């Protein structure tokens, strides 16, 4: 009886990874995040909140808080990776198919294509129905800025910017790490992203405790954001949008965004649709100017929300396809 060589084993693992990621992507498109099921990010968030309270109670000086911030980031990310890996391995030990099913489900929870599209479409429908007040409320659930006084254009811009930015955070970055390391690495990324969304602020409270989380999020999204830029250019061309303008807008405007990564998807979407994003935003009553992304070839309208969602879906599908192809090519080369 011939045993399985190390090369054959590694090739099999990579092939299973492709199957799992593709299955998880379609599972997310099919069911999204059921409300009756506790989401892993909720558990990660509770861990962050508990550790945050502990560190604020124990650490008083800026130096101590910065050290605590580093410990917070390392602890949460390591816990997310380790617990996910232990769960998958334990289930695999019971039955390999059970382990694979659990990994696919865990991978699907790191993706947010369906929930992101659902939130955007709800606001889009409210604007089409003329229900601006309810649209302001709903957009306030997905953005950090003040929304109570936004006009229709402001609600549209907030929604387009959020969907565009989350093409990276909510879809392509998890896919990137899923292809590299399966559910454990994808969940570790979600821990990074959750840390940044909870403590990665440059305000008085989190300036020191949140610095490591913010830097880690920038680092984790660096490569996926640039992959997203290429995918959005391809998606723009496939959907008949202005891919040339999208490329020009990325080159011209992306670097002006306060985030080293978010400017790429936002500027790509702005260029593809011929709209201008950015401008004045209000946060807790304080007005600030967000760098402009793109040139206003056409005024922002509610339809641009639907078009941004189309770009998100096309880019994510291309991400799954390109990731699967690249990993397949790698397995072929590795098996030679």
Residue 218, pLDDT score:
97
* Whole-angstrom distance, CA of residue 178 vs CA of residue 263: 23
Distance of CA 276 to the CA centre of its chain: 22
| Tokens 């957009």 found at | 139
107-135 confidence digits (pLDDT tens): 999 999 999 999 999 999 999 999 999 99
123 within 8 A of 305, measured Cβ to Cβ: yes
Better-predicted residue by pLDDT, 88 or 32: 88
* Whole-angstrom distance, CA of residue 96 vs CA of residue 88: 10
The confidence band for 1, taking pLDDT boundaries of 50, 70 and 90, is: very low
State the DSSP string of 91-146. Answer: HHHH-HHHHHHHHHHHHHHT--HHHHHHHHHHHHHHHHTT-HHHHHHHHHTT-SS-
Has residue 9 got a pLDDT over 80? no
* Whole-angstrom distance, CA of residue 163 vs CA of residue 305: 8
Question: Poorest-confidence range of 247-256, 288-297, 314-323?
Answer: 288-297
Q: Give the torsion sign (CA, 173, 117, 17, 229).
A: negative
Tokens matching residue 9 = 């084993």
The confidence band for 173, taking pLDDT boundaries of 50, 70 and 90, is: very high
φ, ψ for residue 283, nearest 5 deg: -125, 110
242-260 confidence digits (pLDDT tens): 999 999 999 999 999 999 9
- Of 186, 264, 192, nearest in space to 228 by CA: 264
41-56 confidence digits (pLDDT tens): 999 999 999 999 999 9
Has residue 5 got a pLDDT over 50? no
Look up the pTM and report it.
0.92
* Whole-angstrom distance, CA of residue 212 vs CA of residue 166: 21
Residue 336, pLDDT score:
60
Residue 8, pLDDT score:
53
106 within 8 A of 87, measured Cβ to Cβ: yes
Q: 279: helix, coil or strand?
A: strand
CB proximity list for 145: less than 8 A, separation 6 or greater:
158, 281, 282, 283
Residue 3, pLDDT score:
40
Has residue 85 got a pLDDT over 50? yes
Share of the chain above pLDDT 90, in %: 83
């Amino acid at each position: 009886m011939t045993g399985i060589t190390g090369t054959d084993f590694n090739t099999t693992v990579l092939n299973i990874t492709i199957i799992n990621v593709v299955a998880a992507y379609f599972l997310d498109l099919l069911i999204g995040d059921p409300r009756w099921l506790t989401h892993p990010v909720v558990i990660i968030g509770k861990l962050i909140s508990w550790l945050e309270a502990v560190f604020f109670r124990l650490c008083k000086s800026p130096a101590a808080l910065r050290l605590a911030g580093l410990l917070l980031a390392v602890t949460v990310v390591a816990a997310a990776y380790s617990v996910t890996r232990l769960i998958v391995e334990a289930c695999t030990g019971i039955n390999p198919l059970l382990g694979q099913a659990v990994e696919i489900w865990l991978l699907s929870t790191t993706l947010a294509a369906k929930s992101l599209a659902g939130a955007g479409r709800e606001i889009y429908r409210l604007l089409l129905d003329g229900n601006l007040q309810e649209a302001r409320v709903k957009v306030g659930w997905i953005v950090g800025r003040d929304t109570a006084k936004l006009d229709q254009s402001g609600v549209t811009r907030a929604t387009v910017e959020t969907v565009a930015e989350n093409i990276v955070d909510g879809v392509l970055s998890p896919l990137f790490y899923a292809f590299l390391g399966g559910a454990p690495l994808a969940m570790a990324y979600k821990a990074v992203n959750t840390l940044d969304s909870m403590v990665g602020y440059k305000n008085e409270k989190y300036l020191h405790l949140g610095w490591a989380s913010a830097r880690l999020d920038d680092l984790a999204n660096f490569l996926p954001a640039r992959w997203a830029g290429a995918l959005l250019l391809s998606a723009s061309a496939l959907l008949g949008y202005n891919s040339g303008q999208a490329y020009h807008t990325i080159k011209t405007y992306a670097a002006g965004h306060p985030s080293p990564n978010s400017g790429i998807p936002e500027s790509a979407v702005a260029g593809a649709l011929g709209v201008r994003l950015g401008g004045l935003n209000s946060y807790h009553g304080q007005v600030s100017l967000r760098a402009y992304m793109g040139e206003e070839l056409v005024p922002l309208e509610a339809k641009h929300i639907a078009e941004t969602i189309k770009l998100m879906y096309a880019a994510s599908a291309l991400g799954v396809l390109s990731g699967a192809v690249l990993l397949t090519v790698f397995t072929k080369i590795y098996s030679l």
